[in-house]
Structure 1
Amino acid sequence: MHADTLWVFGRGVTVVDGRYRLTPDSLARVDAALAYARRLTAARIVFTGGWSLGAGSAGPPVGSREGDLMLAAARRAGTPPGLDLHAETRSRSTLENVLHTVEEKLLGELAFTPARPLGIVSHGWHLPRIRYLIGKVLRLRGPAVLDIPVVGGGSPWSERMLAVGSRVCFLGSADPATLRRRERLMVALGRRR
């Protein structure tokens, strides 16, 4: 079993000498997706990431957002012939990564099943939260989603809090508007601390 469609989640952008650059963890995720695509012949890769919630409302200019930079890094690294690349660049959180990618129909028209799963690429500590959100939004669970873990990048303490907070905050809802409202509330409460 292998995934024809890979969904790569960003891990941040930094500014160096006035230029936006991917963090080493984001680059590691691009490299992992490309290695998988070369080895197991994936047909599509979707890179997702805009800018973090803490980066201000305007964020980086178009072309310098996480999804843009991951897509450019993949092209520079060389992609297998016929690989279909896409980027989602409006999101500011993992929930928005999922919602915007689905709204923009970037995953294509395939039905994901255990025999033809959706591959998710991120660090191992991030994958459970991604799986949870994909289950909420796409109703995909179990072997219909294939984890493609990236090695390294120690688990930040905040990820454990986000994973627990997401499960509590999003409990009982799969409606995108409700999920967005609840996330805004969770972020607002977190900032007040």
Structure 2
Amino acid sequence: MAIKDQVAGRNRAGWLVVASFLVGALVAVALGAYGRTHTPTGRPLALIIGFSGMAPMKAWLATAAVALATVQLFSALWMWGRLPGCGRAPSWIVHAHRWSGTVAFLVTLPVAYHCLWSIGFYNYNMRAYVHSLAGCFFYGVFASKMLALRLHGVPGWLLPWAGGLLFAFILVLWITASVWYFSQVGSLLI
């Protein structure tokens, strides 16, 4: 009976992984489809939050999101005991991890909204194409990770992998837009 329960538990965990990946894939595909089929407005958002324009706002908000994602990375490594020389993580690190992730996600929303609404899925050059794909994948992986956090019985490797993918995609987004913008004085940001 115990072996049967173990097999059933593994099967359930496998289905949970598949379900979380499917939800993330649906989110990524839906964003990409919307970006391709929606007629871009070409207009900036009404609110640029005190910046001189939409491009600097997006570049700086994305930079803030990457800084917060770096806090996420190091706090996760510390919580999982993978940060050399730091010993056991203090109890407050869990709260720092959650809040830095929440704020990082919220900071990305005006950027993503403008990208989808004003520009759409841009595939006219490789940098912009990689950026558009990474944006869709970022929100897909985010949906998968948030779902996996709420499911019981997911394998222990799932959350660290999802977090690592999120960090990788936000870096790609930042490099293909913000870093590019900062290095191209006066360029448009996509």
The normalised TM-score by structure 1 is: 0.23
The normalised TM-score by structure 2 is: 0.24
Bigger strand fraction: 1
Report 1 or 2 for greater relative contact order, CA contacts < 8 Å, sequence distance ≥ 6.
2
Q: Give 1 or 2 for the bigger CA radius of gyration.
A: 2
